[in-house]
Amino acid sequence: MIDDRHAEVRTYFVRGRNALVARADLASIYIDYHLHVADYGLGVTPDAADFAKQALAAMTLHCAARPRNERVAWTVNFQNPLLNVFVAGDSPLGTVVARTFTENVKPGTQNLFYADVIKGDAAPRRSVVDFPDGSFFAAAERYYAHSEQRPGRFFHFGGDEFVLVAAQPDCDVPWLEALDEAAIRALDQTEQLSLLEQRQYRFECGCTHERMMRVLLGPFRQDAEALFEGDEVLRMSCPRCGARHAITRESLEAYDRAQTA
C-alpha cells in the first residue's frame, strides 16, 4: 500500500516493439518539493521550478527503468536560461531530490549534461554530453542517445503524470521515434503492454543533522577554530537540496567524542 508521500511508478514491456514504458503520477513528489522550497525559503523562480519538476520526472522514471541497485546523479548546465539543475535518484532507498542554481552560474559555450552512476558497490562512472537549448526532457533524451546509447523519449501525459519510453534490444526504433503525445495517450489501445513491476519513490534528500556532522568532522579535527571562526554555531546548506542546518560546536564536540569512544 502506498502512503501519501510516495509516487508509484509502473513499468511495462511493449510486446512486438521491444520497448519499456515507465509511467508515474508525481503529484506527491511535487507537493513535497514545493513544501521543501517554502520551508527553507529557497527563493526558486517559477522558471527554475519548472526545470526542477521536469528533472524530478525524468529521474524518477529513469530510475524505475533501471536496475534496483543503482544510484544516479545528474548535474545539468543550461546556458539559455543560465542555470544549473542537480537531480539525484536512489533506487535502493526509493528517493529522488532536485535543486536549481541561478546565481554564480558560469557562462559557457555549450550546455552540458554530467551523469554519475553507482551500481551496487562498484566505483562511480561518469559521462558527459552536450545538448542544444531546450527543456530538461530534451537534455535527458540527448543523454539517452549518447550515454545510454539507445533512444529514450519523455512525455507529459497530463496533470502531474509523465511517461518514459526507452528502447530495449531489437527495439522498433522508427516506431519509438515517431511517438507523440497523442500516441502515448492511446498506447493502451494500440499496443500490447505487459506489466513488469511497480516501484515507489518519494522526495527526500537524506541530509540529516548527523550526516552534516559527519561531513564536518574531518575539518573540525584539523582546525576547529578556523571552521567555526569564533562562533559557537556553524550554519550550512546542503548542496543537494538546499536545506539549512545549524551545527553547534558543542554538538560537534560530543559527536567527535562518540566516534572515538
Q: What is the pLDDT along the chain (261 residues), one digit of tens a residue?
A: 445 789 999 999 999 999 999 999 999 999 999 999 999 999 999 999 999 999 999 999 999 999 999 999 999 999 999 999 999 999 999 999 999 999 999 999 999 999 999 999 999 999 999 999 889 999 999 999 999 999 999 999 999 999 999 999 999 999 999 999 999 999 999 999 999 999 999 999 989 888 889 989 999 999 999 999 989 999 988 989 999 999 999 999 999 999 887
Predicted pLDDT of residue 82: 96
Integer Cα distance of 26 and 29 in angstroms: 5
Tell me if residue 193 falls in helix, strand or coil. Answer: strand
Which H or E element spans position 31?
Answer: helix 27-39
- Here the cell at position 59 is 529521474
CA distance 238 to 39: 14
Question: What structural domains does the chain harbor?
Answer: 7-203 (3.55.30.10), 209-260 (3.90.1280.10)
Beta bridge partners, 11, equal: 22, 197
**What CA dihedral angle connects 58, 242, 133 and 136, to 10 degrees?**
10
The pLDDT value recorded for residue 209 is 85
Find the helix packing angle between 136-143 and 46-64, rounded to 10°.
30
* Residue that is written with C-alpha cell 527503468 in the block: 65
pTM of full prediction above 0.95: no
CA distances from 61 to 163, 226, 230 (A): 7, 43, 46
For the chain, the helix, strand and coil percentages under 3-state DSSP, each to the nearest 5:
35, 35, 30
Looking up cell 539549512 gives 244
Q: How far apart, in whole angstroms, are the C-alpha atoms of residue 147 and residue 156?
A: 23
Task: State the number of CA atoms in the 13 A half-sphere of 168 facing the CB.
Answer: 16
Q: Is the dihedral of CA 213, 48, 36, 92 positive or negative?
A: negative
Which residue shows C-alpha cell 505487459? 194
